[in-house]
Amino acid sequence: MIILLALAAFLATLVGGLFALYLKDRLHLILGFSAGAILGVAFFDLMPEALDLAGSAYSVSGVMTVVMVGFVSYLVLDRMILLHSHSPGDGHNHRGVVGAASLSFHSFLDGAAIGLAFQVSPAVGTIVTAAVLTHDFSDGINTVSLILKNGGVRREAFTWLLVDALAPVLGVLSTLLFVVPAEELGLLLGLFAGFFLYIGASDLIPESHHAHPVRWTTVMTVLGIATLYVIIKLASI
């Protein structure tokens, strides 16, 4: 059963990424939707889960501080350490790679969440799996979008898509080898919520508006937020 759910997460991520690859001419709309989706994941999924998991050991202020640490850490990494280039000839853009790697690690945690949830009970596992599958599709889109918009080629985007799609499978399998205290997992989710807030607000939203009409990209961003809100709420019923 667990293996089948891991494969479902793999397929959901892969389909989302292929959607982004084959609609490259509409990338500004996809980026707009991705920005909303990644912000929706941070606000409606990662931060609530972080507070729930870490709440017994850490205060709300402590968890939100970790979220801010994630945001500031990604800002410093992006602005001061990577020193990325936007030149057309730059075929290896570190910004896109770091973003894709962060999404892939988040997908690994998604898989681990599935495995750990099923250790609690089948009911909890089912709810967590439903939530994971709904935004794995967006993770695939986000991974491809981050690579393509930062000068990466389709082959590189597809390679990272495969990494991101395999990550939840490895995450599920990893739970057979270790147990992560719920409180510490909550802090990890808070850290990645901060990463995603930076990626969505400071990276994807500005890029989706660049040289394109603002109206439709804004509509797509709001649609991305609304879509993730509805899906995650339905998954938690």
pLDDT at 83: 47
Residue written as token pair 């009970």: 121
For residue range 45-74, list pLDDT tens digits in order: 889 888 988 888 899 999 999 999 999 998
C-beta separation of 217 from 96 below 8 A: no
Full-model pTM: 0.66
Residues 6+ apart with CB under 8 A from 126: none
Q: How far apart are CA 165 and CA 31, in angstroms?
A: 19
Cα–Cα distance, 139 to 199 (Å, whole number): 12
* 112 CA to centre of own chain: 14
CA distance 129 to 140: 16
pLDDT at 43 over 60: yes
- pLDDT at residue 85 in the model: 44
Q: pLDDT tens across 176-218, in order?
A: 887 778 788 889 889 888 988 988 888 777 766 665 667 888 8
Other C-beta atoms closer than 10 Å to the C-beta of 51 total 19
Residue spans of the domains in the chain: they are 2-235
